[in-house]
Amino acid sequence: MDGDSSMLEATATLIVRGNDWGASRLDGMTTSGTGGRTAPRGVTELAVGRHDLYCKTSKKIVHLAVVLFPGEVLVRKLDTEAQAYVLEDEAAEAEYMEAVRNGGMDSALLRMSMLRLIAKRGKLEEVPRARLAQVCDAWNVIQKRCMGGEPADPLFEEVEKLGLAISGLPMSTQAMQTLAMFLHGAIWPVAGTGQFNLGVVLTNLALRILPGHPQLVDLLASLKSHVGLSQEALRLLEATMRRTPFLPSYLGDRLKETYEEIVKTAAERARNA
């Protein structure tokens, strides 16, 4: 992580259609009463790294956890029927992205700098290396417990806390990739012994730390393909490949390669069925 700083990378934008920003919190800060004359559609000036959005609806508290890359415009929508944040359709997503690029949404975007000012937050500091080391150490213990047969549900709760410990703090692309590769490297040997279902559980756990990180999504898709869930794996990859314009080229290339491999494998299985 030496020589790399998230402070030098372009900030990101999160668009969430249908979200009630008056009943929401982002990275622990309220977003109510911060918009202008135009109803907010999203938040800009978001640092590279993990972010957590909570919205209190009439039925429950809905949670969106994401990791964002430099200059990324991530578009989601609040599905009130499903009570969940879901993918926006591709046409609408493209329109939002273009509007952000040409400045057409400036008046409809909350600014993270203003949210921090209102919340009286101090200077924004990057995720401390010591905290990342603690996350890695804690992961090693949790993975051993999972492999030892402990129930997964309590472990998911513990891992979620690890992710929240780095939420809202700037984290460079390189630092994110280092953490993702650590998690990938810890899980892959398990899958290499043929324990693909256990690998799926472990990867889902890891995604609670870096939600949606392409390196981990790619691994999850590969493992799902190995256990016969090819279509589910392809849907995961298709959703993540929509982020390719904002990803480092090596991640975009890897997603494409895995997608093609799974399509080929699925076709071979169908012919031999």
**Residue 169, domain CATH:** 1.25.40.10
Residue 169: inside a domain? yes
Same-domain status, 68 and 139: no
Same-domain status, 191 and 144: yes
Same-domain status, 98 and 133: no
Sheet holding 49-56, edge to edge: 29-30, 24-26, 49-56, 61-68
Structure tokens at 204: 């889902």
Residue 258: inside a domain? yes
Q: Rounded to whole angstroms, how far apart are CA atoms 25 and 56? A: 9
Q: Which residue in 100, 68, 71, 67 sits closest to 8, CA to CA? A: 71
Same-domain status, 152 and 37: no
Same-domain status, 54 and 90: yes
Residue 170: C-alpha distances to residues 4, 12, 77, 259 (Å): 12, 11, 24, 30
Instruction: Mark residue 60 as left, alpha or beta (left: phi above 0; alpha: psi -120 to 50; beta: remaining).
Output: beta
Examine the pLDDT at 8 and tell me if it is beyond 90.
Answer: no
User: What pLDDT is attached to residue 3?
Assistant: 39
Among all chains, which residue has been given the structure tokens 């398990």? Answer: 190
Count of domains for the chain: 2
Question: Which pTM does this prediction carry?
Answer: 0.93
Residue 196: inside a domain? yes
Same-domain status, 232 and 135: yes
User: What pLDDT is attached to residue 270?
Assistant: 86
Same-domain status, 167 and 195: yes
Structure tokens at 265: 């494998």
Collapsed DSSP state (helix, strand, coil) of residue 170: coil
Same-domain status, 195 and 250: yes
For residue 199, the one-letter residue type is G
Residue 106: inside a domain? yes
CB neighbour burial string for 177-207, b if at least 16 within 10 angstroms, e if fewer: bebbebbbebbbebbeeeebebbbbbbebbb
Q: pLDDT tens for residues 105-159?
A: 999 999 998 888 888 887 778 999 999 999 999 999 999 999 999 999 999 999 9
Residue 1: inside a domain? no
Same-domain status, 114 and 164: no
Same-domain status, 20 and 151: no
Same-domain status, 171 and 105: no
Residue 241: C-alpha distances to residues 9, 78, 146, 180, 246 (Å): 21, 21, 30, 17, 10
Same-domain status, 104 and 210: no
**Residue 149 neighbours by CB under 8 Å, 6+ apart:** none
Residue 11: inside a domain? yes
Q: Which domain holds residue 205?
A: 129-272
User: What pLDDT is attached to residue 2?
Assistant: 39
Q: Roughly how many angstroms between the first and final C-alpha of the chain, as a whole number?
A: 48
Q: pLDDT tens for residues 189-243?
A: 998 899 999 999 999 999 999 999 999 999 999 999 999 999 999 999 999 999 9
